[in-house]
């Protein structure tokens, strides 16, 4: 019901509700449906009903047991505002998010009409980010519904992006994600569609996050747009720089540092290359940087600069490491 996530814009997922039904074009090749049916076939008790909407009372308090602050995607395997999720259960989820104020919660829905209907009945904690999925111009009406909610952070996920969307109107929007469809039967995403949305975000000063080009094998198509990765995140004025560095995207990068470090250890044991660390120390102090990330905190002038320092170091090390593996 909860796990660390490979989704690029979050850290963990929490699923007090699972299951859904298709509502628009973006649902056609639903990854959550594929996963739920696979878990049912494997005998998972939480997916005994497959992809039918199921409430999991036992999963409600999971975020309260997580002590380290993290960014949590709520109901990656469902839609919180599905008609079969009772308002009382939605209210319970919001109450847990309110209590777990040390976390940031991200909610996405395609059911923006019900979101708008219930918004005034809900208490919106500052740590809850509310988003809508918009896959094409026909679904852009969801953005207007989102604007009318009481969420502190409002965001749009254009994934899977299935067509050009002009004149979005980003007033009141704090963040935009774009991604191509991935997996079997993935529909193509045209670069001009992505660039059009990116340019609208730049013009409106809205943080832009490019998740993936997608395709059958998304790892091959990558995440680079115009020669760089776009990992911009929304800012919350109430957060201090220290909180931003130690949670959310920065924390995710630091976790990645640990995974890189583990790979080096395995590589050393496998080929007996004990000099690898020394070579990294002598070649630009790359590995020493990995062991002194807290020193890097003090040197970085802002969370954005810290993130760029980490990315630059990881790129250098990853390139060198891949050469050695070949």
CA dist 22 and 16 (Å) reads 19
**Which helix or strand (DSSP H or E) is residue 71 part of?**
strand 71-74
Angle 224-128-211 (CA atoms, 0-180°, nearest 5)? 10
Kindly indicate the confidence band of residue 118, based on its pLDDT and cuts at 50, 70 and 90. Answer: very high
Provide the greatest CA pair distance for the chain. 62
Check residue 307 and give its pLDDT. 64
Mean pLDDT over residues 71-80, rounded?
98
- Residue spans of beta strands (DSSP E) within 135-214: 153-158, 175-179, 208-212
Kindly indicate the confidence band of residue 213, based on its pLDDT and cuts at 50, 70 and 90. Answer: very high
Mean pLDDT over residues 181-189, rounded?
94
- Residues 29, 159 contacting (CB under 8 angstroms): no
Gyration radius of the chain over CA positions: 21
- Residues 264, 257 contacting (CB under 8 angstroms): no
CA dist 143 and 121 (Å) reads 20
Mean pLDDT over residues 32-40, rounded?
96
Claim: this prediction has a pTM higher than 0.95: no
Q: Would you call 323 exposed, middle or buried from its count of C-beta atoms within 10 A (0-12, 13-18, 19+)?
A: exposed
- Residues 63, 3 contacting (CB under 8 angstroms): no
Mean pLDDT over residues 205-220, rounded?
92
Kindly indicate the confidence band of residue 286, based on its pLDDT and cuts at 50, 70 and 90. Answer: very low
- Tokens standing for 306? 């810290």
**DSSP at 225:** B
- Tokens standing for 74? 């709520």
Check residue 3 and give its pLDDT. 72
- The torsion angle over the Cα atoms of residues 238, 242, 246 and 251, rounded to 10 degrees, is 80
Collapsing DSSP to helix, strand or coil, 17 comes out as strand
**DSSP at 48:** T
| Tokens 């009141």, residue located | 172
Ramachandran quadrant class, 236 (left: phi over 0; alpha: psi -120 to 50; beta: rest): beta
| CB-facing half-sphere around the CA of 18: CA atoms within 13 A | 26
**DSSP at 247:** S
The candidate with the shortest Cα–Cα distance to 146, out of 179, 178, 124, is 124
| Tokens 């957060």, residue located | 239
Check residue 228 and give its pLDDT. 93
Weakest mean pLDDT among 3-7, 145-149, 185-189? 3-7
């Amino acid at each position: 019901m909860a796990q660390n996530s490979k989704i690029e814009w979050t850290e963990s997922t929490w699923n007090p509700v699972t299951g859904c039904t298709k509502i628009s074009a973006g649902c056609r090749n639903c990854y959550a449906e594929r996963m739920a049916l696979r878990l049912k076939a494997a005998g998972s008790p939480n997916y005994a009903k497959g992809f039918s909407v199921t409430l999991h009372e036992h999963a409600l308090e999971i975020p309260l047991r997580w002590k380290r602050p993290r960014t949590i995607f709520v109901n990656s395997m469902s839609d919180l505002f599905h008609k079969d999720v009772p308002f009382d259960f939605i209210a319970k989820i919001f109450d847990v998010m309110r209590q777990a104020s040390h976390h940031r919660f991200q909610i996405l829905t395609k059911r923006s009409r019900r979101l708008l209907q219930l918004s005034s009945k809900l208490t919106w904690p500052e740590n809850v980010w509310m988003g809508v999925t918009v896959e094409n111009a026909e679904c852009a009406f969801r953005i207007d519904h989102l604007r009318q909610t009481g969420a502190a952070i409002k965001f749009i996920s254009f994934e899977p992006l299935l067509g050009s969307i002009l004149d979005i109107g980003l007033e009141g929007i704090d963040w935009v994600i774009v991604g191509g469809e991935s997996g079997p039967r993935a529909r193509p995403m045209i670069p001009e569609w992505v660039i059009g949305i990116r340019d609208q975000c730049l013009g409106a000063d809205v943080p832009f996050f490019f998740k993936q080009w997608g395709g059958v094998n998304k790892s091959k198509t990558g995440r680079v747009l115009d020669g760089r990765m776009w990992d911009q995140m929304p800012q919350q004025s109430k957060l201090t720089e220290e909180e931003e560095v130690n949670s959310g995207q920065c924390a995710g990068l630091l976790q990645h540092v640990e995974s890189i470090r583990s790979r080096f250890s395995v590589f050393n044991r496998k080929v007996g290359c004990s000099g690898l660390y020394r070579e990294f120390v002598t070649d630009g102090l790359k590995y020493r940087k990995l062991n002194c990330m807290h020193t890097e905190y003090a040197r970085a002038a802002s969370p954005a600069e810290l993130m760029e320092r980490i990315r630059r170091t990881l790129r250098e090390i990853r390139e060198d490491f891949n050469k050695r593996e070949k």
